[in-house]
Amino acid sequence: MGANKTTDGTQKLAKIRANWCLCGRASDKAAEALKFGDVTNMLELPLWPVYGAIFAGMALCALVFAVRTLSLLMGRTND
User: How does pLDDT run across 11-40, given as a tens digit for each residue?
Assistant: 989 999 999 999 999 999 999 999 999 999
* 39 vs 62: CA distance, rounded Å: 28
* 56 vs 50: CA distance, rounded Å: 10
* 29 vs 75: CA distance, rounded Å: 39
Q: Which residue has the higher pLDDT, 10 or 17?
A: 17
Establish if 46 belongs to a structural domain.
yes
- SS3 category, 54: helix
Confidence band, pLDDT 50/70/90 cuts, at residue 71: confident
pTM tops 0.85: no
Q: How does DSSP classify residue 31?
A: H
Establish if 79 belongs to a structural domain.
no
- Is the pLDDT at 76 greater than 80? The verdict is no
Range of the domain at 25: 2-73
How many domains is the chain built from?
1
Establish if 40 belongs to a structural domain.
yes
Establish if 78 belongs to a structural domain.
no
Establish if 66 belongs to a structural domain.
yes
The count of other CB atoms within 10 Å of the CB of residue 48 is: 18
Establish if 67 belongs to a structural domain.
yes
Q: Which residue has the higher pLDDT, 25 or 79?
A: 25
